[in-house]
Amino acid sequence: MKKSSIIQMVKFTLFSISAGIIQIGSFTLMNELFPLPEWFSYLTSLLLSIVWNFTFNRRFTFKSAANVPIAMAKLLGFYAVFTPVSTYLVYLAEKAGVSEYITVILSMLSNFILEFLFSKFVIYKNQENTLTKKEK
């Protein structure tokens, strides 16, 4: 494996951890302080983490000058599948009595792995390291 790929995975992991903190923090805030359904708290916290993660990974991990609306549309395609599936699985787990925190952590881990692969091989394919020094 190339050194640049390892650095890229480390950066993606660190930004994903920060997005995870945002997701867990916002989920906990909504789940503990407001009488909201678990799926709604999950969905809202997921959306907050997506925007954060996309912004930082496009610029610093993949260093891509890719058209932002197109890149975001591709990510939207990923989440058009991931979000309803994961939200439904969280709903089923809630009905089965599984801890809401276990379900959120498991969905975050699957999201982390799948989003990295999708970003690397679909969103930024052939568009990595295209930011100019001026854009950085």
Q: What is the pLDDT of residues 97-118, one digit of tens each?
A: 999 889 878 888 898 899 999 9
Contact 50, 119 (CB under 8 A): no
Residue 135 confidence class, pLDDT cut points 50, 70, 90: low
Q: What is the pLDDT of residues 12-22, one digit of tens each?
A: 999 999 998 99
Q: Is the pLDDT of residue 30 over 60?
A: yes
Q: Is the pLDDT of residue 31 over 90?
A: no
Higher pLDDT, 131 or 71: 71
Residue 16 to residue 21: CA distance in whole angstroms: 9
pLDDT at 133: 64
Residue spans of the domains in the chain: they are 3-123
Contact 64, 131 (CB under 8 A): yes
pLDDT at 91: 85
Q: What is the pLDDT of residues 58-96, one digit of tens each?
A: 999 999 988 999 999 999 999 999 989 988 888 898 899
Contact 12, 60 (CB under 8 A): no
pLDDT at 136: 55
Residue 10 to residue 20: CA distance in whole angstroms: 15
Residue 28 to residue 50: CA distance in whole angstroms: 17
pLDDT at 25: 95
pLDDT at 39: 82
